[in-house]
Structure 1
Amino acid sequence: MEIILYDETTRLKAEEEQLITELLDFAAEKLSLEPTAEISVTIVDNKRIQEINKTYRNKDYATDVISFAMEDEHEDEEAWIIPDEEAFDLPRVLGDLFVSIDKAIEQAEEYGHSFKRELGFLVVHGLLHLNGYDHMTDADEKEMFALQEEILKEYGLER
């Protein structure tokens, strides 16, 4: 998978950048995503994620991860012209993730596990959202969180 990683905070260490790319590749393989799929991950601070949350979700507070999927379901699919990506040899663009490094640090401390575990949890959570998983209902939450934990455990990022 093509992973474009931006660290607006310049606070990520090299091994944390490597963790993000390796974990996302591992999760993509587990989800049977095309090797040419693309995702961008931007590491931001609480101030920046609060701006994004307010602008795009009308929620004026800092959150941990926000995902913007390129492949949303539409009420009227016939109203959308979706080109055959294979005909144009285009990669599948999954979307963009924004992760608050401040929230990751806070939540790691709150939950009593490492920053790397929390960072991994957030990027996998975001990737699952980009692939249609959600936690709006109890059944959906159970499915998403079980898959999330399975990926993290198999990768070696347990609590």
Structure 2
Amino acid sequence: MHIDFHDETNSIDEAFVDLIERVIQFAGEKEYTANEAELSITFVDNKEIQELNRNYRQKDQATDVISFAMQELGEGEVEVLNEDLPVLLGDIVISVDKAREQAEDYNHSLEREFAFLALHGFLHLLGYDHMNEEDEQKMFKRQEDILNEFGLQRS
């Protein structure tokens, strides 16, 4: 799997990028994601993610992570399959400001918070959601199982 990282804040340490890469690769194996799959992860500040949240979700507030899945078909769209092309999973956008706030609020490491947010976004790209209680329980259990198995338990 190929992950393209973009740090619009110029504040992300290479060790965080390496950790997130390893967690997403690990999750990709657990979820049987194609080796040729591609996605991007972009780090932004609260101002930028609030703008995205407002424009795409009609929620005018900062949030921690937003995913834009490329594999979801919109109304009237036709699925195009070509074995020669990589599977474009989509984009994950993480607020560095929110990650820092939440790591402090939840009293765990910034490493775990970044890994959690990236994994949360990744599972959305794979079709997981939390629009109802049953789906939420399934998604959050999957997140915790993957993070625990990777070795990033909650404190």
Equivalence map 1:99-138=2 (5 Å)? 99-138=94-133
Match of 2:32 in 1: 32
Match of 1:8 in 2: 8
Whole-Å separation in 2 of the counterparts to 1:84 and 1:32 = 18
Whole-Å separation in 2 of the counterparts to 1:146 and 1:73 = 26
AA of the residue aligned to 2:79: I
AA of the residue aligned to 1:48: E
AA of the residue aligned to 2:35: P
Q: What's the TM-score, normalizing by structure 2?
A: 0.96
CA offsets, 1:71-96, max 9 Å, x none? 11445xxx43322221xx00000000
1:80 and 2:94 equivalent? no
CA offsets, 1:49-101, max 9 Å, x none? 011111111111100000000011445xxx43322221xx0000000000000
**1:85 and 1:92 in contact (8 A); partners too:** no
Q: What's the TM-score, normalizing by structure 1?
A: 0.94
Supply the RMSD in Å over aligned alpha carbons: 1.0
Match of 1:41 in 2: 41
Shift of 1:158: 1.0
The one of 93, 102, 105 aligned to 1:98: 93
The alignment partner of 1:39 has SS state of strand
The one of 141, 151, 155 aligned to 1:156: 151
The alignment partner of 2:122 has SS state of helix
Whole-Å separation in 2 of the counterparts to 1:58 and 1:66 = 13
Match of 1:57 in 2: 57
**1:44 and 1:99 in contact (8 A); partners too:** yes
Whole-Å separation in 2 of the counterparts to 1:47 and 1:83 = 35
Whole-Å separation in 1 of the counterparts to 2:127 and 2:80 = 20
Unaligned 5+ residue runs, structure 1? none
| Percentage of pairs with the same residue | 53
Shift of 1:9: 0.5
